[in-house]
Amino acid sequence: MYVTIENVLEMNGFEHVELMGGASGVGRRVETVFFMEVPDIYSYIDENGLLLTTLYPIADNPDAIATLIPKLAKMNIAGIAVKPGRYVDEIPSIMIQQADELELPLIQLPSDANLSLLTNQVLTTLLDARTSVLEFRNKVHQ
């Protein structure tokens, strides 16, 4: 069993999120969670990760905003969740359009979302799924 973006959207804490783009990619596998705190995030992430961000590192850089989704899609990231409100008023339309074209789920978090709590929820679910697989393998082995 593995966790997908669709599973993430059904988790506690994700009730008030909105899938803004890339709906056809909700079956993408999630293996970890990343935060975007630097503009050159690409060397710090791996495939199958869910990226959480306020877009702070690139909020004042239209070129960086316009290239974020395509670069993440090339890296086979699972999806991106953006919390607008403080650094960007809303998710830029270019990102929504690109997410749809590239089938990369783009999630809008509520302005009061606690990124740490959401991360813990996803990581706990991932750990539970991996533990179940290990228990099953151990049972089969015995």
The tokens for 66 are 């316009």
Tell me how far apart the alpha carbons of residues 11 and 49 are, in angstroms, rounded to a whole number: 16
Record the pTM: 0.87
- Give the Cα separation of 39 and 41 in Å (integer): 6
Tell me the pLDDT tens digit for each residue of 69-110: 999 999 999 999 999 998 999 999 999 999 999 999 999 999
Domain containing 11 equals 3-141
Q: Is the pLDDT of residue 135 over 80?
A: no
Q: How many domains does the chain have?
A: 1
Q: Which residues contact 113 (CB under 8 A, 6 or more apart)?
A: 13, 16, 17, 83
Distance in angstroms (rounded) separating the CA atoms of residues 25 and 50 = 13
